């Protein structure tokens, strides 16, 4: 550590461990083809637990998209997908992924992701997902399983919604068995679910430590620490990691140590970070604003009732607030979070790549203001494709927002 420059040193002790978890995962991903281990590509909020149960290596093109964006590769990749006829208005996670495949390039040693033997995607994340993954299935000529949810946006899940999803999870296990030869084992499944649930519980608890004033963990730290819950849910390592992270953050919370100095305005963030410009959070912090609550990160946490493994796992995915809440429910959820996290204002990132999650933001903002008098700001951008990003426009919106916060004292 001593040879590192001080500004490179991470604030959290667990950062090193996180780095190791990520490095291990990507080292394995580079070797997995040589080891002849089956590889499945998963969409966001696809049940990764299925992979760990069935001894299949999971790969996340979306997670990878965030990295391509951070390493300034996404513009080139999106353009490569557009050259094949995909509209520039489509989701940049998809464009980035398809482009990196067409160019066979990526951030790791110049290479792309290990090729999939299987594809598993969720339909309820958005209606684009199935289309993007159908394209992957045609491109690689490998089987695709779409996990579908029948829960209408804005309604509470009924047993019929849970059963439909749970039955598909059972079918998905058979699908993986059929295409890999690996056998399903209920005990292994329960063990994986146990780890997944425990990691989720810890991750949610870590997020909730931000109720402390000042916040003991920064938004960049929260978003970077999502890696294990997204990628390693179901692994013991994720539980061990979040235990350590929880201890570290709760210690900071006890000592009232601020993650960000000068915490003046506590803010709620909706929804995606701008992956190529996480520095925007720094800009917010310079203005005295700290993101202390969000549903994006916590969406990937969610408890699982292990006594009913398939239904329990289905409940975790179907009732996901990010994917199933309508304007009214989201407004109520945010109002509750505003109270619990002592929030002064809400920032909404309207993500051009995600019509699904951006629709309704204006109404949620309005609802919160009407009911609690808490102001909000909305800006438009794209989470992965930097080509039309206007730093000035975004900062203009934020500047006027901080003026409003200032005037409220």
- Cβ atoms of 333 and 321 within 8 Å: the answer is yes
- In a 13 Å sphere around the CA of 276, the CA atoms on its Cβ side amount to 22
Residue 245, helix vs strand vs coil: helix
Please identify, among the stretches 162-170, 190-198, 224-232, 306-314, the one whose residues bind another protein according to the rule CB under 8 A.
Answer: 162-170
DSSP-assigned beta bridge partners for residue 340: none
Q: What is the rounded distance in angstroms from the CA atom of residue 65 to the CA atom of residue 285?
A: 25
Please identify, among the stretches 57-65, 90-98, 253-261, 399-407, the one whose residues bind another protein according to the rule CB under 8 A.
Answer: 90-98
Tokens of 393: 């426009």
Q: What is the rounded distance in angstroms from the CA atom of residue 130 to the CA atom of residue 136?
A: 10
Please identify, among the stretches 59-67, 240-248, 335-343, 359-367, the one whose residues bind another protein according to the rule CB under 8 A.
Answer: 359-367
- Cβ atoms of 210 and 90 within 8 Å: the answer is no
Residue 384, helix vs strand vs coil: coil
Give me the phi and psi of 349, to 5 degrees please.
-95, 105
List the x/- string, 130-149, binding to another protein by CB under 8 A: xxx-xx--x-------x-xx
Q: Select the residue interacting with another protein from 283, 363, 391, 395 (CB under 8 A).
A: 363
Q: What is the rounded distance in angstroms from the CA atom of residue 22 to the CA atom of residue 77?
A: 23
- Between 30 and 327, CB nearer to another protein: 327
Residue 387 interacting with another protein (CB under 8 A) = no
Query: Shortest distance, CB of residue 82 to another protein, whole angstroms?
Result: 10
Residue 152 interacting with another protein (CB under 8 A) = yes
- Between 126 and 346, CB nearer to another protein: 126
Residues in the interface with another protein (CB under 8 A) total 49
Residue 371 interacting with another protein (CB under 8 A) = no
Q: Which residues in this chain contact another protein in the complex, by CB under 8 A?
A: 84-87, 89-91, 94, 123, 126-128, 130-132, 134-135, 138, 146, 148-155, 160-161, 163-164, 167-168, 171, 326-328, 350, 352, 355-356, 358-363, 367, 380
């Amino acid at each position: 550590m001593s040879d590192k420059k001080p500004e490179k040193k991470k604030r959290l002790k667990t950062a090193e461990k996180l780095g190791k978890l990520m490095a291990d995962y990507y080292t394995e991903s580079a070797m997995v083809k040589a080891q002849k281990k089956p590889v499945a590509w998963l969409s966001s909020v696809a049940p990764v637990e299925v992979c760990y149960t069935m001894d299949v290596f999971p790969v996340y093109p979306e997670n990878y998209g965030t990295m391509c964006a951070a390493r300034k590769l996404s513009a080139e990749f999106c353009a490569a997908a557009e050259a094949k006829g995909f509209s520039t208005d489509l989701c940049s996670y998809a464009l980035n992924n398809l482009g990196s495949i067409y160019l066979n390039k990526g951030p790791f040693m110049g290479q792309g992701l290990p090729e999939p033997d299987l594809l598993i995607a969720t339909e309820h994340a958005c209606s684009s997902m199935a289309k993007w993954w159908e394209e992957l299935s045609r491109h690689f000529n490998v089987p695709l399983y779409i996990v579908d949810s029948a829960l209408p946006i804005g309604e509470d899940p009924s047993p019929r919604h849970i059963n439909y999803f749970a039955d598909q999870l059972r079918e998905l296990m058979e699908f993986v068995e059929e295409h890999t030869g690996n056998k399903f084992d209920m005990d292994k499944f329960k063990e994986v679910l146990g780890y997944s649930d425990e990691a989720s519980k810890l991750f949610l608890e870590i997020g909730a430590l931000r109720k402390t004033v000042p916040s003991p963990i920064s938004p960049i730290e929260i978003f970077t620490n999502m890696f294990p819950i997204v990628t390693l849910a179901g692994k013991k390592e994720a539980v061990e990691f979040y235990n350590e992270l929880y201890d570290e953050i709760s210690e900071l919370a006890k000592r009232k140590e601020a993650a960000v100095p000068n915490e003046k305005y506590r803010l709620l963030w909706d929804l995606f970070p701008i992956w190529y410009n996480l520095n925007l959070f720094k800009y917010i912090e310079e203005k005295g604003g700290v993101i202390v609550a969000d549903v994006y990160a916590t969406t990937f946490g969610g408890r699982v009732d292990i006594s009913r493994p398939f239904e329990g796992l289905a409940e975790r995915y179907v009732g996901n607030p990010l994917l199933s809440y309508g304007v009214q429910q989201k407004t109520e959820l945010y109002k509750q979070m505003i109270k619990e996290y002592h929030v002064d204002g809400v920032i909404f990132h309207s993500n051009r790549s995600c019509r699904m999650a951006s629709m309704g933001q204006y109404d949620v903002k309005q609802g919160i203001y009407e009911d609690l008098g808490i102001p909000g700001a909305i800006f438009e951008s794209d989470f992965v494709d930097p080509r039309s990003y206007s730093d000035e426009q975004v900062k203009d919106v934020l500047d006027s927002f901080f003026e409003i916060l200032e005037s409220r004292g």
